[in-house]
Amino acid sequence: MEASTEDLSTKCIKEGQAEIRLTTEKVFYNPVQEFNRDLSIAVLSLFIQDYKAEKIAKMQKNVKKSNENIADDVAQSGSNLEVPVTILEALSATGLRSIRYAKEIPDVNKIIANDYSEQAVETIKANVVHNGVESLIDTSHDDACMLMYKHKHPSKRFAAIDLDPYGCPSTFLDSAVQSVQDGGLLLVTATDMAVLAGNSPETCYSKYGAISLKTKCCHEMALRILLQCIESHANRYSRYIEPLLSISVDFYIRVFVKIHSGAIHCKKTTSKLSMVYHCVGCDNVTLQRLGGFKPNPTEKNPEQTKAYLPAGPPVGEYCEHCHQRHHLGGPIWSAPIHDERFVTRVLLHVEDNPQRFGTAKRLQGCLSMLREELPDVPLYYTLDRLFGRVHLETMPMLVMRSALMNAGYRVSFSHASRLSLKTSAPARAVWDVVRAWHALRPARPDKIQSDPVVAYILNQPISHTIDLSLRPDANPLSRQNGRLRFQFNPAPNWGPGCRASLNVGEDKISKAIRNQNKHSKENRIEKRVHSPEDDESRKKTSSDVDTSV
C-alpha cells in the first residue's frame, strides 16, 4: 500500500487500482484490512462466474420446459443471456471497498455503496468521481437494515451483500439473509473477538444465540458460532447457508456463505449444529449433535432419510481422561466451514494474478492451509496446552503428527493457530501419545504429586500402539513450500482501529478523553490542588461533594 499527502487537509491513499482522498478523520478507514479486501475480491471474482453460469443454466432449463422450440434458440445464444449482478456494500465508510470492486471485479452491473453517516456519503461520492466509476457505483445515505429490507422482494435482491461492521454484525443479519438472491453470496466480518472467544459468554449468547467457551481453539469456535447465527436467521425465512470459505485472521473473522432457499433443507440444520462439552481439567472438547438422519426403511429410494434425535449426553458426570467436570457451550456449526474445491480455485486465481493483490503472498499461504484442513473435524488441540497441562516438554509438531498418522489417523493444521493440531483420532489416542512422550521425557515427580489432574492423566495405561518415528508426509505441503502461513504484526498499533468519531458522539469522545489515566499518580496529585475560585464555588454550593483524594 502506498500513501501520500497532497496538502495538509487531504490524505491520499492508494490500494489496488483504487485511490481515495480523505479530508476528515471522522470517516472510518483501516489499512490493516487490505488482506480482507484482497480476499473478498478474489472470492467475488470466481463467485460471479459461478453465479452467472448457474442462473443461465436455470433459465435455459425453465425455457426448455415451457417451449421446446424456443429452447433451441436459447441454447444457441448461450452466454448472451443477461444475468444482472448487483453488489451491496451496506457499511461503506470511505467507499474504498466498493471502488475496488468496481475496478477489479469483472461482470458487475451495479454496486451500491451505503453509509448512515452523511459525511461518509459525501466522501464516497467524491472518491467515486475521482476514480471515474460513476457508471457502476450508486451512493446511498440510509440505515443499512432498512435499505436491505427494501430489497427483500425476489426481483430486487442483491447477488452479493458485504457486511463489514465495527464490532458485531448480528443486527444486520436478519435483513441481509432476506435480501440476497437465491444462490447469492453473503460476506460477513466480525471484530468483537473478545465476546466470541469466551471472555463474555452471556454477551455472546445475547448477540449470537450461542454460549462461547474460553478454550485454546476459541478462534475456530468463533467462526462456527457466527455461521450458526447466520443459519439461524436464514432458517426463519426457509433459507439456509452453504459456507464457501471461513477464515480467522488478525483481530477478526470473515465468512463467505451462499444463501439458498428451500424449507425441506432447513430441516437438516439440526444435523449441522452441535453443543460443546468442554472439560475444565484437561481442556478436552466433545461435541453433541442436535440431530441426525438415518435411512428410512419404509421408503424404496435409499436416498430418502428419516430425522432422529441422538441420545446424550456424550460425556459422563466426570471427564474420563482427567476426572474433572465439564462446561457446556454452543450450539456451534459442526459441518464443514470450507468448500475445498472453491478454496482451491481461489488459490489458483491468486497464484495466476499475484500482481492484482498487495497481500498475494499471505493470501496464498492462508488459502493453502485452508485447503489442507480436515473438513470433517471441528475444532483442534494446541500443542502448548496439551503438553503444558501435564507439565511436559512440548513434543515437536512433526513428531506428534507422525505418531498419530502411524496409528492410522488423519491430521492437519488449522489456519487459526500456529501450534494447532486437527485430527480424526479420539481423545484417548491423543493422550496416549502424550503418555508415550512422558515415558521418554518424564515430568518432575513433584509436579505430578501436586496436581491431581496430571497424576490422573499420566498414570492411565496406554491402550494404543504408539510409534514416534518421523514420517515424510507428516510435513504438509504449505509448510514444505515455505508459504507465508502465519504473519507477525507488520506495523505498530496493529488492530481493529477506532470507531469513526462521527458515529460515537462528541459527548462520549470528550468523556473518554477525560477519563484517560484517571487513576494515575499525576492525576491524583492534580486533584489535590484547587484554585481559590474552586474553593469559593464549593462554599456557595452546599450540595457539592468533595471528591478529591
Dist. CA 196–CA 275, nearest whole Å = 15
Q: Can you say whether the dihedral through the CA atoms of 34, 382, 427, 217 is positive or negative?
A: negative
pLDDT at 92 over 90: yes
Name the phi and psi angles at 125, rounded to 5: -60, -45
**Whole-angstrom distance, CA of residue 148 vs CA of residue 533:** 56
**491 band by pLDDT with thresholds 50, 70 and 90:** low
Q: Is residue 159 part of a domain?
A: no
Whether the pLDDT of residue 536 is over 60: the answer is no
User: Which segments within 32-116 are labelled E, that is strand?
Assistant: 86-89, 110-115
Helix locations, 340-497, DSSP H = 340-352, 360-372, 383-388, 397-406, 427-440, 445-450, 452-458, 477-480
Contacts of 442 (CB under 8 A, 6+ apart): none
Q: What is the pLDDT at residue 537?
A: 47
- Whose CA is closest to 179, among 145, 214, 227? 145
Query: Among residues of the chain, what percentage have pLDDT more than 90?
Result: 72
| Distance of alpha carbon 112 from the chain centroid | 24
Q: How many residues does the chain have?
A: 549
User: Are 32 and 131 spatial neighbours (Cβ–Cβ below 8 Å)?
Assistant: no
Q: Is the pLDDT of residue 498 over 70?
A: no
Distance CA 436, CA 402 (A): 13
Summarize pLDDT for 314-338 with one digit per residue, the tens.
Answer: 999 999 999 999 999 999 999 999 9
Helix/strand/coil for 241? strand
Burial class of residue 437, CB neighbours in 10 A (0-12, 13-18, 19+): buried
Q: For residue 166, give the nearest of 33, 24, 337, 357 by alpha carbon.
A: 33
Is 461 among the domain residues? Answer: yes
- What is the distance between the alpha carbons of residues 459 and 8, in angstroms, rounded to a whole number? 69
Residue 277 lies in a domain: no
* Exposure letters 38-51 (e unless 16+ CB within 10 A, then b): bbbbbbbbbbbeeb
Q: Report d(CA 436, CA 458) in Å as an integer.
A: 9
Domain span including residue 436: 380-470
Cell of 410: 488423519
Category of 45 on φ-ψ map: left (φ > 0), alpha (ψ -120 to 50) or beta:
alpha
CB atoms inside a 10 Å sphere around CB 403: 28
Q: Check residue 4 and give its pLDDT.
A: 41
Q: Has residue 395 been placed in a domain?
A: yes
The CATH number of the domain holding residue 417 is 3.30.56.70
Closest CA to 75 of 89, 59, 99: 59
More confident residue, 355 or 74: 355
Residue 81's pLDDT band, with cuts at 50, 70 and 90, is: confident
Q: Is residue 465 part of a domain?
A: yes
Q: How many domains does the chain have?
A: 1
Q: Which three cell numbers stand for residue 253?
A: 473473522
Q: Mean pLDDT throughout 264-286?
A: 96
Q: Rounded to two decimals, what is the model's pTM?
A: 0.86
Using 50, 70 and 90 to split pLDDT, how confident is the model at 514?
low
Q: How many CB atoms lie within 10 A of CB 31?
A: 12
Q: Which positions ≥6 away from 221 have C-beta within 8 Å?
A: 196, 197, 198, 212, 213, 215, 276, 329, 332, 379
- Domain contains 217: no
Instruction: Report which listed range, 54-63, 304-313, 366-375, is most confident.
Output: 366-375
CB 306 within 8 A of CB 189: no
* End-to-end C-alpha distance for the chain, whole angstroms: 49
Whether residue 153 is contained in a domain is answered as no
Beta-strand relationship, 252-261 and 180-190: antiparallel
Cα-based distances in Å from 413 to 250, 373, 405, 455, 474: 17, 6, 13, 29, 11
Name residue, grid cell 446511498.
140
User: How far is 131 from 246, CA to CA, in rounded Å?
Assistant: 31
For position 80, what pLDDT does the model report?
Answer: 59
Say whether pLDDT at 508 is over 80.
Answer: no
Bridge partners of 268, per DSSP, are none
* 377: pLDDT strictly greater than 90: yes
Instruction: Give residue for cell 432422529.
Output: 308
3-class SS of residue 304: coil
* Segment (H or E) for 205: helix 201-208
Whether 548 has a pLDDT exceeding 50, the answer reads no
Cα distance between residue 458 and residue 267, in whole Å: 44
Q: Evaluate whether residue 301 is within a structural domain.
A: no
Mean of all residue pLDDT scores within the chain: 87
| Sign of the four-CA dihedral 421, 423, 427, 428 | negative
- Candidates 343, 447, 484; CA nearest to 42 is 343
